[in-house]
């Protein structure tokens, strides 16, 4: 408000000066400040000082205003990004199964940044325009209500014009924000899979995909720009009518002596200052509409509520996991009708090793996801220590589990950062975990050892090295249940054997569930489950399953070529 007042003050001083010098020094009726200046030896200096002080005040107050609004904008940007991030990382796995990574990233980056622009730029500009309008209205009305009516009357028609424009452009900006997410998704996949793209010489095909997504964004942006171009001529036409009428009416009032020449000059200058921002009003409305579209997506993310949460009365899991049991579990992924698991039942006690094998799509990994509570069974129960898993808090259950996925994920950072991920431990603990995972030797050979940067997703390490670092992370957690989902698929047989021996030696009471295609990984399991199409068709130890001569024996023969061991039962008969 102070900045807007200082912005208009020079125009008042100019009007005083015009009247002072055109009236031969007569300044009566022009206010006490003007009267005082008229008594000075050099009145022109006085008017110059007023104008100078006004600009100094404008600079100070405008600077304070800009700093305050920009600070507020950045704080809102940070808070919204954090709120949206916290909501998103609390969502269950099914949420991410149905959405593109790029769409989610677009919300957290470009949409949040768009809101900062609205707060720090667009909103402040509109507030500045409205406050200027308010001050100008008061000043002009006090000078001549007739001229005030002449200038403000036509300008009132801008209000319905702005409403018309905003409603037409709003839909386009929503689609434009959605297109931004599509572009981000395509580019994220392109960069992440660049090795595959080049291996298949698919550069042109990928460029076409980017062109389609970018073209959609371009078309929506051009459409919004066309709407703005229809809006601006209306603003210019209304302003032209208003100033034309003002010039005619003001000239007649000045000739009749109802207002002075200086007042007419002030009226014209303030009216010009007041209406000039209207010519960028279309741009500001554009930015607000973009912000509205971004706000919808950001607040939709902030308002997300996970469906898998702690049940009322859930208690922390004490004493670790002593047993895990699936009891008649049936499950189908959201949006599908075909069950992935059908009436699955098994039990694993502390210290036991359970192996799970089967063809791709048999439901092996789904068992692990249900145990981690990424999903909830449609039928049956998952029990921990004889109690439904939902009777324990989600965090305490996951704290007790060490999980290594079939695609080991490493974060951008050092080897040490990835091993001690969210785990409070000393360097000795990190080294011990790496030794157990069979990773210590190769880590020592790296250029910077534990401080070696692994790159995005561990790109600077081999597949086997990533698998061992990921396993070390799980071991360092000291879980009472270790879940291995094809964790050793990138390892050679000898390294795999040593790691299994290390795992058994470090914690004999830890239960282990291992999913594997390579049956040598689970050969020594206390029990092996053979799965086909979501059902357990065989169970037993290695030798027992070979005697059955079924699914397990068939896969063992294919992988090892050892027909003799698989046909022991038949030859004995």
Note whether 480 and 402 are within 8 A (CB): no
pLDDT per residue over 47-83, tens digit each? 788 888 888 888 888 888 888 888 888 898 889 989 9
Look at residue 452 in the predicted model and tell me its pLDDT. 92
Q: Which fold has domain 2-302?
A: ABC transporter transmembrane region fold (1.20.1560)
- The two tokens of residue 386 are 């004889």
Q: What is the pLDDT of residue 348?
A: 95
Q: If you count them, how many residues does the chain have?
A: 573
- What's the CA gap between 87 and 170, in Å, rounded? 26
Whole-number Å distance between alpha carbons of 524 and 544: 12
Q: Which residues are CB-neighbours of 290 under 8 A, at least 6 positions away?
A: 114, 118, 173, 176, 177
Asked if residues 4 and 135 have their Cβ atoms less than 8 Å apart, the reply is yes
Banded pLDDT at 568 (limits 50, 70, 90): very low
Question: Residue-wise over 285-307: b if at least 16 C-beta within 10 A, else e?
Answer: bbbbbbbbbbbebbbebbeeeee
pLDDT interval class at 173 (50, 70, 90): low
Helix (H) or strand (E) holding 483: strand 481-485
pLDDT band, very low/low/confident/very high, at 26 (cuts 50, 70, 90): very low
Section 400-404 average pLDDT? 90
Cα–chain-centroid distance for residue 25?
66
Residue 30 confidence (pLDDT): 47
The tokens for 55 are 């600009």
CB 143 within 8 A of CB 263: yes
What pLDDT was estimated at residue 293? 78
Mean pLDDT of 32-53: 71
Q: What is the pLDDT of residue 177?
A: 64
Give the confidence band of 98 by pLDDT, cuts at 50, 70, 90.
confident
Q: What is the mean pLDDT of residues 286-311?
A: 84
Mean pLDDT of 240-257: 87
Confidence of residue 352 (pLDDT cuts 50, 70, 90): very high
Rounded to whole angstroms, the Cα distance separating 286 from 268 reads: 29
CB atoms within 10 A of CB 241: 14
> What does the alpha-carbon distance between residue 84 and residue 79 come to, in Å, rounded to a whole number?
8
Whole-number percent of the chain with pLDDT over 90? 24
Q: What is the pLDDT of residues 480-508, one digit of tens each?
A: 999 988 877 667 777 777 777 777 777 67
What's the CA gap between 101 and 304, in Å, rounded? 16
Mean pLDDT of the chain: 82
- The confidence score (pLDDT) of residue 33 equals 63
Mean pLDDT of 383-408: 91
What the block records as the tokens of 138 is 């008061």
Q: What percent of the chain is predicted at pLDDT more than 70? A: 87
Question: Is pLDDT of 341 > 70?
Answer: yes
Measured distance CA(503)–CA(519) in Å, rounded: 18
pTM above 0.75, yes or no: no
User: Do residues 77 and 112 lie in contact, with contact meaning Cβ atoms separated by under 8 Å?
Assistant: yes
pLDDT in tens, 146-158: 888 888 888 788 7
Q: Give every CB contact of residue 185 below 8 A, 6+ residues apart in sequence.
A: 100, 101, 102, 103, 105, 106, 213
Reply yes or no on whether the pLDDT at 285 is more than 80. Answer: no
DSSP 58-125: HHHHHHHHHHHHHHHHHHHHHHHHHHHHHHHHTS-HHHHHTS-HHHHHHIIIIIHHHHHHIIIIIHHH
Read off the tokens for 104.
Answer: 């989610």
Rounded Cα gap, residues 414 and 425, in angstroms: 16
Q: 278 pLDDT exceeds 60?
A: yes
pLDDT at residue 566, rounded to an integer: 44
Mean pLDDT of 443-451: 91
- What lies within 8 Å, CB to CB, of 57 at 6+ separation is 2, 3, 6, 9
Residue 4 has pLDDT above 80, yes or no: no
């Amino acid at each position: 408000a102070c900045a807007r007042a200082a912005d208009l003050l020079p125009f008042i001083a100019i009007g005083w000066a015009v009247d002072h010098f055109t009236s031969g020094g007569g300044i009566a009726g022009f206010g006490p400040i003007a009267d005082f200046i008229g008594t000075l030896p050099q009145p022109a200096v006085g008017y110059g000082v007023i104008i100078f002080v006004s600009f100094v005040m404008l600079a100070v107050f405008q600077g304070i205003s800009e700093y305050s609004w920009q600070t507020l904008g950045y704080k809102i940007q940070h808070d919204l990004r954090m709120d949206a991030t916290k909501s998103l990382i609390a969502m269950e796995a099914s949420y991410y199964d149905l959405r593109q990574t790029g769409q989610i990233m677009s919300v957290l980056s470009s949409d949040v940044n768009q809101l900062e622009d609205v707060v720090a730029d667009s909103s402040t500009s509109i507030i500045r325009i409205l406050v200027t309008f308010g001050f100008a209205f008061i000043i002009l009305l006090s000078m001549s209500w007739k001229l005030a009516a002449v200038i403000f009357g036509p300008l009132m028609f801008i209000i319905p014009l702005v409403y018309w424009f905003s409603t037409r452009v709003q839909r386009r900006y929503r689609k434009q924000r959605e297109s931004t997410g599509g572009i981000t998704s395509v580019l994220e996949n392109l960069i992440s899979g660049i090795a595959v793209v080049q291996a298949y010489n698919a550069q042109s095909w990928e460029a076409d995909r980017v062109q389609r997504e970018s073209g959609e964004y371009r078309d929506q942006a051009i459409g919004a720009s066309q709407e703005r171009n229809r809006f601006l001529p209306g603003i210019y036409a209304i302003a032209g009518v208003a100033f034309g009428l003002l010039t005619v009416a003001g000239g007649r009032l000045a000739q009749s002596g109802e207002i002075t020449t200086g007042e007419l000059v002030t009226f014209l200058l303030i009216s010009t200052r007041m209406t000039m921002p209207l010519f960028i009003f279309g741009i500001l409305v554009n930015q607000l509409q973009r912000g509205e579209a971004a706000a919808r997506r950001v607040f939709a993310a902030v308002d997300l509520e996970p469906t898998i949460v702690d049940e009322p009365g859930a208690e922390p899991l004490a004493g670790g996991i002593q047993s895990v049991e699936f009891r008649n579990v049936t499950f189908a992924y959201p949006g599908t009708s075909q069950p992935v698991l059908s009436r699955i039942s098994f039990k694993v006690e502390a210290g036991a090793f359970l192996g799970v094998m089967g063809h791709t799509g048999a439901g092996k990994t789904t068992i692990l996801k249900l145990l981690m509570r990424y999903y909830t069974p449609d039928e049956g129960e998952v029990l921990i220590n004889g109690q439904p898993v939902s009777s324990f808090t989600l965090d305490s259950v996951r704290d007790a589990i060490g999980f290594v996925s079939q695609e080991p994920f490493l974060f951008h950072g050092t080897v040490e950062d990835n091993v001690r991920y969210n785990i409070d431990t000393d360097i000795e603990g990190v080294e011990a975990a790496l030794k157990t995972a069979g990773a210590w030797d190769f880590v020592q050979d790296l250029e910077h050892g534990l401080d070696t940067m692994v790159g995005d997703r561990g790109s600077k390490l081999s597949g086997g090295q990533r698998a061992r670092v990921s396993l070390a992370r799980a071991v360092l957690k000291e879980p009472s249940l270790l879940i291995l989902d094809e964790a050793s698929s990138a390892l050679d047989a000898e390294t795999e054997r040593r790691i299994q021996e290390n795992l058994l030696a470090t914690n004999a009471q830890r239960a282990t569930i291992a999913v594997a295609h390579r049956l040598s990984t689970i050969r020594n399991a206390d029990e092996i489950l053979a799965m086909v199409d979501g059902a357990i068709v065989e169970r037993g130890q290695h030798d027992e399953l070979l005697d059955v001569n079924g699914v397990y024996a068939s896969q063992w023969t294919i992988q090892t070529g050892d027909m003799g061991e698989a046909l022991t039962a038949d030859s004995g008969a």
